[in-house]
A = this chain, B = another copy of it.
Amino acid sequence: MMKALVYGGPGQRSWESVPLPDVKDPDDAIVRVDAVTICGTDLHILKGDVPEVEQGRILGHEAVGTVLEIGSGVRNLTVGTRVLVSCISACGRCRYCRTGSYGQCRGGGGWILGHLIDGTQAEFVRVPFAETSLYKLPDAVADEDALMLADIVPTSYEVGVLNGRVSPADTVVVVGAGPIGLAAITAARLFSPAHVVAVDPAASRLEAASRFGADVTVRLGDGSPADVIAELSDGLGADVAIEAVGVPESFELCTSLVRPGGRVANIGVHGKPATLHLESLWSNNITITTGLVDTYSTATLLAMVHSGQLATHQFVTHRFGLEEMEEAYDTFGDAAVTGALKVALARS
């Protein structure tokens, strides 16, 4: 038996004893969880917003761990290997996996951990398609640094920065300065934009945005993002607007802030449609992208953490032991009060 965070239906979670996972398929691995975190998506599941998650499911889709057991078809991982467990599993064989679009896997992968199968908020986890879903970690990369590569950093990098084609000298606006927006700010800096403008209603989040790399901040309600960006861009607008909230208003704000020829990269998880003002945008040569993370950039990001280009541990504001899972949820769930960005739970 082991301990795990089990979803018991809307509003219900508990850290309880459950059976140990077993190898089921030849390409499975069983991983001992050494460090794990909690995602905003886990909170959505607990609210009942993700109905395909069944009662009894172990949550969690981000971890760093150690391979304990492998299936007969696993060639390149050995017991004892330290690995990153990615939020996205990849069958490695389907049309989408063949082009690195693992998030859209048609072969049984995609976002499955803590969603369609048991996840990482446990002492042990079964990872299918292990060779294409786990990433070996260099010794020099600490657990906490690696942990941020399971979801938040590749999401902001791929879906925000790469989809938005952030380029040297760009003016980039990030709407929403929660964890994912802060990660987008940091990731945007990898391409040497001239300005990264953070927009948010909360002053505390804008302070964080400055620490994470924004050189200009606009408090919604106080200032006008359009005016600030016009000032920075000779009146043209932003080259790239990154949506990191997930509500219609912030998306529509993004489409209003980009210059002719600009890009809007949506990262936010939306529950409602937005209005697209084609009556003005039709002639503006804009590009809008959406995306679930594919994690094709994991190896790149890991190399940058390793070589010191990317300081990911800065996202971790609160630390717990693995057995303090419930307190960690409380802290993360009440971020407005606790100021939590990401929490890290480590096996003791």
Contacts and interface: CB of A to CB of B under 8 A. Distances in A.
The number of chain A residues touching the other chain, given as a range, is: 35 or more
A107 B290 contact: no
B307 A195 contact: yes
A26 B292 contact: no
B287 A289 contact: yes
A319 interface: no
Interface of A: 26-27, 71-73, 75-76, 91-93, 95-96, 98-101, 103-104, 107, 131-132, 167-169, 190-195, 215, 246, 248, 251, 260-261, 266, 268-279, 281-292, 294, 296, 299-301, 303-304, 306-307, 309-310
In the complex, the count of this chain's copies comes to 4
A68 B175 CA distance: 45
Nearest to A288: B288
A96 B260 contact: yes
A274 B276 contact: yes
A215 B306 CA distance: 14
Contacts of A307: 169, 194-195, 215
Given A26-B72, A131-B93, A195-B307, A290 B279 contact: no
A154 B3 CA distance: 52
